Structure 1
């Protein structure tokens, strides 16, 4: 069942099994606020088990581009289009959030972003491949993030 993410009253709905559920909920709310403010898009998430197509697409991009397989259990996903971009997010039990930004038209931006919730360790599958920058968020505390540019067609 889809859940509309509220960035005013942050909730751990769908994230309860995460050891950093509060921080992950804040990170998810931070993303929801960004899309609402920039694109007037309402950010909704679905349990990963109810939207296997989005999860499979993100997993395919990670595997094909960088041979990355995430070890943590996916909890929630979302997929939508805004301003010529296909966006997909996966929120993992470990506190990791991955987003794929894929420009629909040739020449548009295409990248994969990784965000780590406050209190989580860098996942082993990402630790040696990426450096993470820090940013402050009123909703999520400290977020560490990194990204890579997508070169293939998806």
Structure 2
């Protein structure tokens, strides 16, 4: 059963094994706040091992588009649709968060986003990307990057 992410009382529940659990929890809460404010959507997560289809989808997009395989262990995933866009998220033990934004209508936005929790190094598999910095009250400093999806998924 999915757990609702509370962005008022930030919890590390489900992320305890991460060396940057506090920052990762803040990053997860930051995403929850974004979806609540922009779409009035409640952000829910499920343990990654309970949603293998979501992990398979994200891994397929990464592998097919850029040949990327993430070495870190996935902890939690989320998948939902709002305003005609399918969003798929995975939060990794290393502190990395990946989201796949896929507009269902032809010609819409389709991209993969990477966010690094404060305190984590850039993973070797993402070394080719340039990361921009942003400040977050919930997550401290977030470093992010993305690439546009070219294929159909």
Please say whether Structure 1 and Structure 2 have the same fold, judged by a TM-score greater than 0.5. yes
Q: Which residue of 2 aligns with 1:56?
A: 56
The runs of at least 4 aligned residues of structure 1 exceeding 3 Å deviation read none
TM-aligned CA deviation for residue 2 of structure 1? 1.6
Task: Give RMSD over aligned pairs.
Answer: 0.4
TM-aligned CA deviation for residue 45 of structure 1? 0.1
Q: Which residue of 1 aligns with 2:124?
A: 124
TM-aligned CA deviation for residue 38 of structure 1? 0.4
Q: Which residue of 1 aligns with 2:135?
A: 136
TM-score, normalised relative to structure 2: 0.99
Q: Which residue of 2 aligns with 1:146?
A: 145
Structure 2 residues not aligned, in runs of 5+: none
Q: Which residue of 2 aligns with 1:40?
A: 40
TM-score, normalised relative to structure 1: 0.99
Q: Does the residue aligned with 1:70 lie in a helix, a strand or coil?
A: coil
Distance 2:106 2:53 in 1: 23
Distance 1:109 1:47 in 2: 27
Q: Which residue of 2 aligns with 1:11?
A: 11
Give aligned pairs, total: 153
User: Which digits, 9 at most, give the CA deviation of each residue in 1:72-92, with x for residues without a partner?
Assistant: 000000000001100000000
Structure 1 residues not aligned, in runs of 5+: none
Distance 1:50 1:40 in 2: 26
Distance 2:63 2:105 in 1: 23
User: Which digits, 9 at most, give the CA deviation of each residue in 1:124-143, with x for residues without a partner?
Assistant: 0001x200000000000000
Q: Does the residue aligned with 2:75 lie in a helix, a strand or coil?
A: strand
Distance 1:2 1:13 in 2: 12
